[in-house]
A = this chain, B = another copy of it.
Amino acid sequence: MSNTYQPPILTVDSVIFMIINDELSVLLIERADEPFKGKWALPGGYCAAGETTHAAMARILSTKAGLKTTSLSLVEQLYTFDTVARDPRGHAVSVTYMGLGEAIEIKKSSTAQKPQFFPVKKLPELAYDHGDIIKYANDRLISKISYTNAAYALLPKLFTMTQLQSVYEAILGHDLDKRNFRKKYLSLDIVEPTSDYYQEGAHRPAQLYKFKQQNLQTHSRSID
């Protein structure tokens, strides 16, 4: 309004989930400086005038975690936290995003900030309110995967029904019945079988499936 208007500091934090060894895992960075030096934090940083929050997220992920946004198959805004006393520099507002991708190797050499994935069940000591943010993201992911095809973003293009089921089990945190899961998932009509098979180990090869759509779609019934 007046020419003395001073906006709050605006930051962006990202919760990047991947399934690693059948566990839902989140990308964290060890803080090199105070505050919270030595603690682990979500990749985050400042959003500047003229830069969208989404662009800021992409820039920060790339520079601080060596992760290209192109490795993420699904990015969704989560929530905007008022964090009046969170940053010692004063009042800040933090826009948070959730990103999902197929498991990849992070190049540790690309930064001094040691990006690393941790299973959400075994998190280290966290900086700021990042524990709350991860909890919020995890809750959102549980509901997204229940009523949408979001699992496509955590799997390779072709995958077996067992892999798909284990993504659900990792996120929902409980086991599912194999027969019921397959029956219901196929009846949702969002995946289709391919003519390829995946052979691994001393057992029958598994048929490979793919999602009909590689973008977020809501389906009729929910999985839980």
Q: Are A49 and B82 in contact (CB under 8 A)?
A: no
Number of this chain's copies in the complex:
2
Closest to A95 in B: B80
Q: Are A91 and B49 in contact (CB under 8 A)?
A: yes
Contacts of A8 in B (CB 8 A): 7, 10, 47-51
Known A8-B10, A79-B77: A1·B51 in contact at CB below 8 Å = no
Residue of A1, A82, A84, A90 with most partner-chain B CB within 10 A: A82
- Closest Cβ of chain B to A84, distance in Å, is 6
Tell whether A53 is near chain B: CB-to-CB under 8 Å. Answer: yes
Contacts of A213 in B (CB 8 A): none
Tell whether A6 is near chain B: CB-to-CB under 8 Å. Answer: yes
Q: Sort chain A's interface into a size bin.
A: 20 to 34
Contacts of A54 in B (CB 8 A): 82
- Closest Cβ of chain B to A96, distance in Å, is 9
Residue of A7, A10, A80, A91 with most partner-chain B CB within 10 A: A7
- Closest Cβ of chain B to A140, distance in Å, is 13
Closest to A84 in B: B52
Q: Which of B1, B46, B93 contacts A10 (CB 8 A)?
A: B93
Known contacts A5-B48, A7-B47, A8-B49; 19 additional CB pairs below 8 A are: A5-B9, A5-B46, A7-B7, A7-B8, A7-B9, A7-B10, A7-B46, A7-B48, A8-B47, A8-B50, A10-B10, A50-B90, A50-B91, A51-B91, A52-B82, A53-B80, A53-B93, A54-B82, A93-B95
Q: Please name 10 pairs of A and B residues whose Cβ atoms are closer than 8 Å in the assembled complex, sorted by A.
A: A5-B46, A5-B48, A6-B49, A7-B47, A8-B10, A47-B93, A49-B91, A52-B84, A54-B82, A80-B95
